[in-house]
């Protein structure tokens, strides 16, 4: 079995949503992944707008900036 390594540059010109570098890196990765996949639960498409860290399951961190409309989620987004 071959190992594949995928690399892509994150757009650092965007204004960070989080001041924490770790949270911002995770947020950017999720935002980029959601540009190429649609998450599902069973056969139903699921809207994802945030995430929790395993070390702090109480705090929800937003993926998208506040000005981005939630209705834009299922619309096609540029890569």
Per-residue pLDDT band for 63 (boundaries 50, 70, 90) equals very high
Residues 6+ away with beta carbon under 8 Å from 72: none
What is d(CA 7, CA 71) in angstroms, rounded to the nearest whole number? 29
Residues of the domain holding 57: 21-67
Domain assignment present for residue 44? The answer is yes
Number of H helices, E strands in the chain: 1, 4
Domains held by the chain: number: 1
In a domain, 62, yes or no: yes
Domain membership of residue 76 (yes or no) is no
Domain-embedded: residue 7: no
- Residue 5 belongs to a domain: no
**32 Cβ partners below 8 Å, 6+ apart?**
8, 10
Q: Would 33 be classed as within a structural domain?
A: yes
Residue 63, domain member (yes or no): yes
Average confidence (pLDDT) over 66-70: 60
Q: Is residue 60 part of a domain?
A: yes
Query: For 47-62, what is each residue's pLDDT tens digit?
Result: 999 999 999 999 999 9
């Amino acid at each position: 079995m071959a190992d594949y390594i995928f690399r892509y540059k994150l757009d650092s010109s965007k204004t960070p949503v989080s001041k924490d570098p770790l949270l911002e890196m995770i947020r950017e990765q999720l935002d980029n992944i959601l540009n190429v996949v649609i998450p599902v639960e069973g056969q139903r498409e699921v809207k994802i707008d945030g995430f929790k860290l395993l070390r702090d399951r109480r705090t929800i961190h937003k993926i998208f900036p506040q000005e981005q409309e939630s209705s834009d989620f299922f619309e096609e987004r540029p890569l």
